[in-house]
Structure 1
């Protein structure tokens, strides 16, 4: 099964993808992970990507799609893949379609996890992090002692990109640049909508009902 997991920041794509990857034994492919792995391994495309990253610039689409193509051709994708974080624009979607057709791994479905903006702000602004790597949420996964990490006793902090003003800017960018893909994939007959605002297990069950069709 070949699936794109789609949705705004804070929709829970990463959480769901981890569970789905284990359940269906297909790799969860994150563009961020692909970039970091290729840079770390010093591949030709990874070195090209690093040139842009070191300048603080976005990696061009042609480099990114090359990295994705290489990843999708690896043996663990033989039974399918779960793509997360790509595409983000219509030109990227066009490029992805071309690559998938070339390697004979076309999409079965694009699962859109819909969540309202106010719920997303609540989810993201409530996150707290610790330097040791542990993470919490003031509503859903609060530490035993307010502001203190359970694991190491360190002081918890709010990441800059979890501030409400930054979150709303991220959502504005998503609505402007990425949300048009909903219509794009709907017109292609690939889009399936899931209510992403429910409990994690409930959302997972809804996604599994869709993915079971492609087993």
Structure 2
């Protein structure tokens, strides 16, 4: 990154403090990819909801929901996810959340847990791609096998994941929009282009939040 970009990242870090940023989007929108990039740039800890549910600590019946492309029932999901905010290793660190709280109603519990643990939610990124672009990326991913053998990437299950997102997660995104926390990001460009857009939009948002005039940047 150039000097202006470095300065923009430093401002975002100052604004974020120990707060958190949540990232949403359709499958293949780049949530985990850009979540990792943001976490590295901001010195933050990445917490991925789907990754945690697929981990060894999760009961099998919850993994089965994910394997079928469905969201885990809210009560069980919150019981598994919310304690993560209280981990000692996260103390005094900013957090980047990858789709934590995807079913409408969960978002208030996530926000309360984040606030109580010293990681108040500062912004929500919505990585926006079309379903057509989703399938292009899915087909490309199948060819190069860059996601391993994830059962939930099978076509019939992917269709369920899309339906779950549209019926259960879009209302969550609308909630954050109404709260003034949402930052829409076009995620249809290259990885580098999308990261540039994320940093530009976060920089603008953070400067407005701190009443500082935004400075343009180029990666």
Give the alignment's Cα RMSD to 1 decimal. Answer: 3.0
- The count of residues paired between Structure 1 and Structure 2 equals 182
- Alignment partner, residue 98 of structure 1: 112
How far did 1:59 drift?
A: 4.8
Name which one, 1 or 2, has greater alpha-carbon Rg: 1
- Alignment partner, residue 182 of structure 1: 173
| Contact preservation (8 Å) 2:115, 2:121 | no
Q: Select the residue among 75, 89, 92 that pairs with 1:62.
A: 75
- Alignment partner, residue 145 of structure 2: 135
Is 2:28 aligned against 1:10? yes
| Contact preservation (8 Å) 2:105, 2:172 | no
Q: Select the residue among 167, 180, 195 that pairs with 2:158.
A: 167
Q: Select the residue among 50, 59, 79 that pairs with 1:50.
A: 59
- Alignment partner, residue 9 of structure 2: none
Deviations along 1:24-81, whole A, 9 cap, x unmatched? 1101101233345571xxxxxxxxx526437x35754334324333222233352310
- Alignment partner, residue 204 of structure 1: 195
Change (3 A) 1:176 1:16: same
How far did 1:209 drift?
A: 2.5
Higher helix share: 2
TM-score (norm 1): 0.71
- Alignment partner, residue 43 of structure 2: 25
- Alignment partner, residue 141 of structure 1: none
Change (3 A) 1:204 1:184: same
Aligned to 2:120, the other structure's residue is in SS state coil
Runs of 5+ consecutive residues of structure 1 not aligned to the other structure: 40-48, 138-156
| Contact preservation (8 Å) 1:27, 1:77 | no
Change (3 A) 1:183 1:36: closer
Aligned to 2:121, the other structure's residue is in SS state coil
For residues 73-88 of structure 1, the aligned pairs below 5 Å read: 73-74=86-87, 75-88=89-102
Is 2:123 aligned against 1:109? yes
Q: Indicate the structure whose relative CO is greater, using CA pairs within 8 Å and at least 6 residues apart.
A: 2
CA distance in 1, matches of 2:99, 2:45: 14
Change (3 A) 1:188 1:211: same
How far did 1:22 drift?
A: 1.1
Deviations along 1:124-176, whole A, 9 cap, x unmatched? 122227xxxx7349xxxxxxxxxxxxxxxxxxx98664454443332122111
